[in-house]
C-alpha cells in the first residue's frame, strides 16, 4: 500500500478538531493507514502568503511537500480545501518551470530536504472518490442515510484553479454528490452550489460582507 502522510493544516486542529477525528476514524475503518510527521508549517494560505510575495508562498508550500517526501511519503492526505489548492498549485508551478524547481531544491538541500515532484497530493474527498470509490463505500455501510436530503458545498479551492488541480471539471463537478448518494442519501441541487462561501471576505473587508455571501448560499 502507498505510504500516506496526513496534512491537517492550521484551521482543522485549531477550530474543527472533529473533522480530524472523522477523517482518522473512517480511513482506519477503510484500511488506509496514514502517518503524522513533525515539522509542517501552515501550507501556507495562498490568499495571505501571496501578499508577502510569491517566493514565501511557494517555498513554504514546497518545503512541506519535501518534508513528506523525505519521510518516505508517496501521497499527502488533506481534508482542507485551502491546503489542497496551495499544494496542487505550488507543485504545478514547479512542474512547468524546471529552473525554478532547481533553484528551490538548492535551498532545500541545505536543510537536508529534497522535492522531486513525485509526492501526490490527495484531498480526502478525492481519495474516497478516486482511490476507494463510491461503490466500495456503499458496501461498507451499516446505517445508510436513507431518505436524507443533503446539499453539498464543494468549496472553491477543491475545484479551482482547474489548472494544476485536477480534482474534476471545475464547472460541473459530480464526485462529492456521487459519494453522498453512495450513503443512501439524496442530493438537493441548488443554484448557488458552486458559489463561494465568502470566508476570505472576513480577512480584508467588513466581516458583514462575508456573512452576506454565506447567506446567499444558505437561503
Partner 1 sequence: MRRQGDPFDIPVFHYTELLGLAMGITPKELGLNMHRIKADTFLKDWSQRSSQMELIEEYFDLASLKRCHVCRACENDCPSALNVPKFEPQAIIGRVLEGKLEELLKLPEIWNCVECHTCVELCPQRFGMEKVFTILKRLAVEQNMAPETMKNMIDTFSATSRLGKPQATLSKRLKLPQAKPSGMQEWRELLERFKA
Interface ranges with partner 1 (CB under 8 A)? 8, 10-11, 13-15, 17-18, 20-21, 24, 36-42, 44-53, 55-56, 59-60, 63, 67, 107-108, 110-111, 156-157, 160-163, 170-171, 195-196, 198-206, 209, 212-213, 216
Query: Minimum distance between the CB of residue 101 and partner 1, rounded to whole angstroms?
Result: 14
Q: Is 3 in contact with 32 (CB distance < 8 Å)? A: no
User: Taking the complex as a whole, how short is the minimal distance between the CB of residue 54 and partner 1, in angstroms?
Assistant: 9
Report the nearest approach of partner 1 to the CB of residue 79 (Å). Answer: 13
* Cell representation of residue 10: 492550521
What's the gap between Cα 163 and its chain centre? 15
The nearer residue to partner 1, 21 or 118, going by C-beta atoms, is 21
Alpha carbon distances (Å) from 74 to 1, 118, 121, 191: 10, 7, 9, 38
Nearer to partner 1, 126 or 182 (CB): 126
Q: List 120's β-bridge partners, or say none.
A: 75
Candidates 201, 135, 120; CA nearest to 167 is: 120
For partner 1, which is the closer residue by CB, 98 or 144? Answer: 98
Rounded to 5 degrees, φ, ψ at 149 are -110, 125
By beta-carbon proximity to partner 1, the closer residue of 62 and 182 is 62
Q: Whole-number minimum distance, CB 123 to partner 1, in Å?
A: 15
Amino acid at each position: 500500500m502507498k505510504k500516506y502522510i496526513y496534512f491537517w493544516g492550521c484551521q482543522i486542529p485549531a477550530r474543527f478538531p472533529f473533522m480530524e477525528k472523522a477523517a482518522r476514524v473512517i480511513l482506519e475503518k477503510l484500511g488506509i493507514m496514514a502517518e503524522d510527521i513533525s515539522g509542517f508549517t501552515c501550507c501556507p494560505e495562498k490568499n495571505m502568503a501571496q501578499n508577502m510575495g510569491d517566493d514565501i508562498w511557494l517555498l513554504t508550500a514546497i518545503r512541506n511537500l519535501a518534508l513528506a517526501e523525505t519521510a518516505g511519503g508517496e501521497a499527502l492526505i488533506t481534508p482542507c480545501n485551502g491546503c489542497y489548492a496551495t499544494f496542487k498549485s505550488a507543485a504545478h508551478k514547479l512542474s512547468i518551470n524546471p529552473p525554478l524547481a532547481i533553484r528551490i531544491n538548492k535551498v532545500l538541500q541545505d536543510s537536508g530536504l529534497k522535492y522531486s515532484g513525485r509526492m501526490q497530493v490527495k484531498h480526502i474527498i478525492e481519495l474516497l472518490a478516486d482511490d476507494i470509490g463510491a461503490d466500495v463505500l456503499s458496501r461498507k455501510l451499516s446505517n445508510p442515510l436513507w431518505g436524507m436530503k443533503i446539499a453539498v458545498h464543494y468549496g472553491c479551492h477543491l475545484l479551482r484553479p482547474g489548472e494544476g488541480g485536477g480534482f474534476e471539471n471545475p464547472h460541473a463537478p459530480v464526485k462529492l454528490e456521487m459519494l453522498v448518494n453512495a450513503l443512501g442519501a439524496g442530493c438537493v441541487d441548488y443554484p448557488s452550489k458552486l458559489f463561494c462561501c465568502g470566508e476570505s471576505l472576513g480577512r480584508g473587508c467588513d466581516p458583514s460582507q462575508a456573512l452576506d455571501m454565506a447567506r446567499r448560499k444558505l437561503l
